[in-house]
Amino acid sequence: MSRIVIIGGGQAGVQLADSLRSEGYQGAIDLFADEPHLPYQRPPLSKDFMSEEDGASPLPLRAGTFFGDRAVDFHQGVEVTSVDPVGQTVVASDGSTLSYTKLVFATGARNREISVPGSELVGIRYLRTLDDAKALQAELGSAKHVVVIGAGFIGLEFAAAARKRGLDVTVLEFGPRPMGRVLSQFMSGYFADVHTDSGINLKLGEGIASLTGVEGKVSGAVSTSGTEYPADLVVVGIGVLPNSELAVQACLEVDNGIVVDACLQTSDPHIFALGDCSSYPNVHTGARIRLESVQNATDQARILAKTLTGKPTPYEALPWFWSQQGAVKLQIAGIIHCDDESIVRGEPASGKFSVYCFRDGRLTGVESVNSPSEHMAARKVLEQRLPLTPELVMDADFDPKSFSRQSAFLNPNDKEGLERPATV
C-alpha cells in the first residue's frame, strides 16, 4: 500500500493532506505535527489575538472532524526525529518507525533569536506559535512599556496592536526604513509616518545592543546608539530560519531552505518540500526564492497534490502577501525590490492608494493600501503578464480593473515582453 508521510502540521501540511484526497489519492496519509494543538491559523496571532484584552480563540485550519473524515492519520504532538532516505522510513519521537512511498517536508520556519547581553531575562518574547501568543497575551495585561525589536510585518503588526491597547511602544529597527526587504521606499516611508502618528516611537537605524533587568526581569533595552528605552516587555521580530535540519541529516540539498525543482521535488526523487522551508525556482522573478506566506504554502500544497497523484505540475503561482497594521491593510502582488521605479496612484493622505513598481520598464509588483479591488486587478495583470507600462499607469484615465480584463482581447503576439524568464 502506498503511503505519503507529511512532516509538519501547519498551513502547507494540512492543505496537502486535504488536496491529496481531493485529487483522488487512495493510499495512506500520515501527518506529523510537533505542536500539541490542533492545526490553527498563524496570521491572526499578531493581530486580532493581541488587540483583544482577553485574547481571541485561535482560528482552526479545519474542523475537528477533518482528519477522520479525510482518513488522515494525525500524529498530534509527535515530532519526526530522523529520516532514512535509503530505507524510506521515518522515526518519530514516540518511538515509532514508519515506512513511506513519498515523504513531504512541510516543516516551516522558526524565529531567529537575538544573542545580546541580557537576552536570557524574563519578559523577552517571540511570536510565532499559539503558545508564544498565549504567553505574550498574558503579559500584555500588566505591561506598560513595550520594546519591539525589528520593524518587519510581525513586529509592526504587534506594535500596532499593543499601541491600540494604550501601551507605550518603541520599535527598534537596525535598517534605515521599516519593512525594507519587501516594500518600495515610498511605501516604507508611508508606514513609518502611520506608526509614528499613532504614537509609536519608531527608531530607525538603531539595533539592539543589550537588555537590562532588575531581579531577573527585563527593565530596559539599550540600542546601538547607546540610548536605553524602558521596557517591561520585549518582543523580538527579526525574521525566521527555515526548519531544514532533518533535510540536512537526510543528505538533501539545502541552501536557505530545502532546495526543490519546479514540481517541488528535492534532490531525492521520493522526497518533496513546500512552504516556508523550501527554496524553489520562481517563474515571475527568474530566480530561486523562499517565501514565507500563507498563499505560497496553500498554493504549493494544491499543486504538489497533483504531482503526487500522477499529474506532474510545475508551481507557477504569483506571490502575494498582506499585512494588517492597525487600521491600515497592506496588500502586495508580486516581488518588489527597493530600487524599483515607483509610481503612486491615488492620494496617500486619504489612506487609500497603490504603488506600482517597475524594473527596466516591466511591472514587478503592486502595493495597495486599503484598496482590495486594485490589489485583485494587479494580481491579474501580473499573472497574465499584461504589457502595462509606467506611461499607462501615469495616465489620469488609467483604470486597473478595466486593464486587467483586456487579456481576452489581446492577440498573443501583442503581449510584448510577457515571456517567462528562465528559472535558476
Domain boundary among 214, 238, 262: 238
Largest CA-CA distance found in the chain, in angstroms, rounded: 72
Residues 11, 42: contact at Cβ < 8 Å?
A: yes
Quickly list H helices, 279-411: 294-308, 372-383, 390-394, 400-404
| 231 and 119 belong to one structural domain | yes
Is the pLDDT assigned to residue 37 strictly greater than 80?
yes
Cell numbers that stand for 38 in this block: 490542533
pLDDT value of position 260: 98
Around 177, how many Cα atoms within 13 Å sit in the side-chain half-sphere? 16
Alpha helical stretches, state H, 310-371: none
Q: What is the pLDDT of residue 405?
A: 87
For residue 186, pLDDT beyond 80: yes
Q: What CATH code is carried by the domain that includes residue 343? A: 3.30.390.30
Whether the pLDDT of residue 409 is over 80: the answer is no
Q: Are residues 117 and 215 in the same domain?
A: yes
Q: Which ranges constitute the DSSP H helices of 334-406? A: 372-383, 390-394, 400-404
Are 123 and 106 contained in the same domain?
A: no
Q: Tell me, what's the pLDDT at 56?
A: 62
Q: Residue 410 pLDDT more than 60?
A: no
Indicate whether 38 belongs to any domain.
yes
Domain annotation covers residue 368: yes
Q: Are 91 and 129 in a shared domain?
A: no
SS3 state at 386: coil
C-alpha 24 chain-centroid distance:
29
Closest C-alpha to 364, from 334, 386, 343 = 334
Residue in the structure block whose three cell numbers are 502547507: 12
Confidence of residue 420 (pLDDT cuts 50, 70, 90): very low
> Rounded to an integer, what distance in angstroms lies between the CA atom of residue 367 and that of residue 179?
13
For residues 406 and 5, give the distance between their C-alpha atoms in angstroms, rounded to a whole number: 44
Please say whether the beta carbons of 420 and 283 come within 8 A. Answer: yes
Q: Is the pLDDT of residue 414 over 60?
A: no
The verdict on residue 319 lying in a domain is no
Same structural domain, 71 and 136: no
CA distances from 35 to 69, 79, 207, 331, 423 (A): 21, 8, 32, 30, 35
Q: Is 313 among the domain residues?
A: no
Q: 206 and 127 share a domain?
A: yes
* Domain shared by 259 and 203, yes or no: no
The angle that helices 11-22 and 294-308 make with each other, rounded to 10 degrees, is 40
Predicted confidence (pLDDT) per residue in 86-145, tens digit: 999 999 999 999 999 999 999 999 999 999 999 999 999 999 999 999 999 889 989 999
* CA distance linking residue 270 with residue 21, whole number of Å: 19
Residue closest to 147 by CA, chosen among 170, 124, 118 = 170
| Per-residue model confidence (pLDDT) at position 418 | 36
Kindly tell me if the per-residue pLDDT of 422 is higher than 50.
no
Per-residue pLDDT of 223-235, as tens digits, reads 999 999 999 999 9
Round to whole Å and give the CA distance between 124 and 7: 29
Write the single-letter amino acid at 283. Answer: V
Tell me what pLDDT residue 19 has. 98
pLDDT higher than 70, residue 158: yes
pLDDT one-digit tens code per residue, 313-337 = 999 999 999 999 999 999 999 999 8
pLDDT at 416 over 80: no
- Asked whether residue 85 is domain-assigned, the answer is yes
Whether 415 has a pLDDT exceeding 50, the answer reads no
How confident is the model at residue 51, as a pLDDT?
73
For residues 306 and 297, give the distance between their C-alpha atoms in angstroms, rounded to a whole number.
15
Q: What is the CATH number of the domain that holds 177?
A: 3.50.50.60
Cα–Cα distance measured from residue 260 to residue 276, given in angstroms and rounded to the nearest whole number: 12
**Spatial CA neighbour of 320 closest among 365, 289, 258:** 365
Domain limits at 353? Answer: 327-414
In a domain, 140, yes or no: yes
What pLDDT is stored for residue 61 in this prediction?
95
Q: Find the mean pLDDT for residues 50-75.
A: 86
Q: CA-based angle 176:181:376, to the nearest 5? A: 125
In the chain the first and final C-alpha atoms are separated, in Å, by 36
Tell me the H-state helices in 309-404.
Answer: 372-383, 390-394, 400-404
Q: Are strands 258-259 and 278-282 parallel, antiparallel or unpaired?
A: parallel
Asked if 360 and 373 count as a contact pair (C-beta separation under 8 A), the reply is: no
225: cell is 546608539
Predicted pLDDT at 193: 98
- Quick: pLDDT tens for 1-15: 899 999 999 999 999
- Quick one: what percent of the chain has pLDDT higher than 70? 95
Question: Of 308, 337, 352, which residue is a domain's last?
Answer: 308
Neighbouring-strand partners of residue 217: 122, 214
Given CA atoms 291, 237, 7, 247 in this order, what sign does their dihedral have? Answer: positive
Domain count, the chain: 3
Q: Tell how strand 168-173 and strand 201-204 pair up.
A: parallel
Q: How long is the chain?
A: 424
pTM of the model: 0.93
Q: Which of 202, 221, 238 is the last residue of a domain?
A: 238
Do 257 and 372 lie in one domain? The reply is no
Render pLDDT for 196-243 as a digit per residue (tens, 0 to 9). Answer: 999 999 999 999 999 999 999 999 999 999 999 999 999 999 999 999
> CA Rg, the chain, in Å?
23
Does residue 314 form part of some domain? Answer: no
Q: Answer yes or no: are the C-beta atoms of 394 and 346 closer than 8 Å.
A: no
pLDDT confidence of 267, banded at 50, 70, 90? very high
pLDDT band per the 50, 70, 90 thresholds, residue 339: confident
Q: What is the DSSP annotation of 184-195?
A: -HHHHHHHHHHH
Same domain, yes or no: 349 and 396: yes
**Which one, of 171, 186, 149, lies nearest residue 358 by Cα?**
186
Q: Is residue 22 part of a domain?
A: yes
Residues 301 and 376 in one domain: no
- pLDDT at 54 (0 to 100): 59
pLDDT (0 to 100) of residue 55: 54
Q: Are residues 376 and 277 in the same domain?
A: no
- Do the Cβ atoms of 274 and 292 come closer than 8 Å? no
pLDDT above 90 for 413: no
Residues 185 and 224 in one domain: yes
pLDDT in tens, 350-408: 999 999 999 999 999 999 999 999 999 999 999 999 999 999 999 999 999 999 987 54
